Amino acid sequence: MKFVGVCQYDGSSFSGFQSQPNASSVQDALEKAIISVGQVTERMNYSGRTDAGVHALGQVFDFKSTDSRTIDQWLKGINSALPDSIAVISLQEISEGFHSRFDAIKRKYAYIIYTGKTRPIFLKDYVFWEKNKLDINVMKAEAAHMIGQHNFSAFRGSKCTANNPTRTIEYIEIQQKEDFIVITISANAYLYNMVRIIVGTLMDIATGRLQGSMLDILKSENRLNAGKTAQSQGLFFLGAEYKDISLPDPVHPASLFSSLLGIQ
């Protein structure tokens, strides 16, 4: 039998989602918990790799098992064996041909920027503190150039191994709520560090640290022309969407902050 699940995790203490030698990963912790409930036939698949410090509210994964367990038994058993920083929020049986990475038609990320005057000590692992004034109207105007299908070579990290740099961004939404700026991006797929480089470049242009426009940088296809790579702690992987299956809608981090801080 094959199962597809959705998990959330606080990435602060992990080296990333993907299993790595001599490092603590979300994948290793999740697979260890699954194996404690039933036998699996191979390593899991997952919808998107996240780097060290990046969080997730809707990471999709799938695994195969030869053991007969109810969904409730799987869920309770897996969650009881996971650390407090990871939780599986849904699980369902799926067809043998499903693949959580290759079958995804779009993926969404959100990045949280804090613009308050003092260091956000209780939120330091979940937001990026920008000390300089950001012009949100400039950010929105510049982000519009990213929409559609483009060669995103200027926004790929040096460790990117993708053969094709073309990706399609469906939308970039930028909202301001009190001292928080929330950037949400939806695309079919991403290059390595693409979201963080886009966000970092938007911030650099909006503060005046970087001259030029996102359009010129995009057309240059040269990473040297883009801005900094935004830090990882403000980034949340919201999850993936598929044609033939229904998964729970993830809570947006903006909603979490709004509830926590009483922001309307």
Q: What is the pLDDT of residue 193?
A: 95
- Collapsing DSSP states into helix, strand and coil, what is residue 106? strand
Question: How many Å apart are CA 136 and CA 47, to the nearest integer?
Answer: 31
Q: What are phi and psi of 154, to 5 degrees?
A: -70, -10
Could you read off the pLDDT of 107-150 as tens digits, one per residue? 999 999 999 999 888 889 999 999 999 999 999 999 999 999 99
Domains of the chain in sequence order: 2-103 (3.30.70.580), 106-237 (3.30.70.660)
The pLDDT mean for the chain works out to: 92
Could you read off the pLDDT of 176-205 as tens digits, one per residue? 988 999 999 999 999 999 999 999 999 999
Please give the positions annotated as active site: 51
The binding site consists of: 109
Question: How many Å apart are CA 91 and CA 70, to the nearest integer?
Answer: 10
Q: What is the pLDDT of residue 236?
A: 95
The binding site for substrate consists of: 109
DSSP for residue 231: P
